[in-house]
Structure 1
């Protein structure tokens, strides 16, 4: 099993990481091809009835707020930013075709010139033209070209957070703006009495990079989720939608922990499982192709070379317990 391990950054502090396993189980911390931390667990010599592990950590999050005037966060070099300008296997062609054409059209219509203006124009377009689709499996696959083709054809277009964040990232990258999807899980609630089940609370956020501000958060996916949950009409309830857009533009709440970033990941040690030839099974898998994960937002596991579908939660659970007594960030 490969379990994503949160690491500290400007918006979260991770402490007291523990990996508790049976004595027969091998454990070690590794990193994937994007540098994300992994708790790797090998149960080969562990009796089947003892193949249970607990990975835990203490996280302190703070709300992500817009940078103050003159403040720059997470300064990066051009060489470091290069990987945030390319496409993934599902990110679409950024140089021509529907991704580039859609991006150019949005920016031109808004007469956007600066990085922030272009990012805001694409953000506004996405909220206006895409939707959250609750029937989507997991957080979605993030097939950008297919979503944009559906939108252009007048079909219901969108999905869940990976789909919506991936569209945002690709449209930005088509403008030469570094952008990325960051994968994590919600940590909601203030009840200190008991742990809360968060097993299905995964959420993918998006960020773009501005040379003056550093990494900037924008979350059209959560705007569109709120529109669906609150049963809002984008035209009739325009003021409410605009308020939601403002809430998730250039900032975000603290009720989430980042676990990983990046697409088309190779894990360490490498996956040996193959993508199932049965589409009914493959649709519940995080494997994008043999040996490569679409993203590392979920735990991954294999048994005797057979993939354990990450979107079927019988194999694992997440829980979160709020602690109001300690301020660590």
Structure 2
């Protein structure tokens, strides 16, 4: 049985990074690399991004951030609440930490003081999404704790950050007002945050007035557009999922890619690109997918499940929309049984 392949274009990745950085203007890019760089692999992506001028990397969790740190001396950020052992490893490695609760703030300060290593913190204000973060009424107390630790020399308040709900422009405008008020309070009590990051991919792309000094961008750098969102000007999906025909069975063919490889079985009915044009998926089994045949179909023919669209295939987000999820899930579901092939 053949092995499916995720073909990855380093050139497309570099082009996307250049387009995103141009779009952001004066706001710096933080390249988010969660879920192993959205299923593409961190090891090659860090070096490519650093060569392209990226100086901030976001790992989400500390284990990912440590993987990034092993590959670069640039600034690395992790914002998921973590265990004491992970926090200690992050502090020793110079990982900057996002803090959104009093308990985590106290734990990080205590660990930094125990180790005697000044640690960079980014305090999160909850601007309405309620995904962690200090509530506005608790902000002054949190800032007081962090500033006292900063005065003792154990931490540095390097940034203020938040998440946007992106439910409507009005809600995002209100969130920005909460965010800016939090920054003003911190500065009024002597804080000097250099990194202000409210926006992630979508808001940073389409709402330039919401950007701070730093913008966290993940999916867009890999060419993954938002669910129900438009095609992104200047960006393209950096990978294509390819499988080959293993058997021709009358009016169908069997392709060596299935649910065991991470292809959701609910994608039955979607179209894939074949040498005979677009053809419908008839069934997805554990180790294979049955596809409507085309004239002259033969074993070894190449079938593209998703990609940048050069052969008419859907992008990852179009497939995700069929199952009411986001494009990155289609990529991050792919198991190690799918080979990753780096190209120019």
TM range (shorter): under 0.3
Q: Whose helix fraction is larger, Structure 1's or Structure 2's?
A: 2
Rg larger for = 2
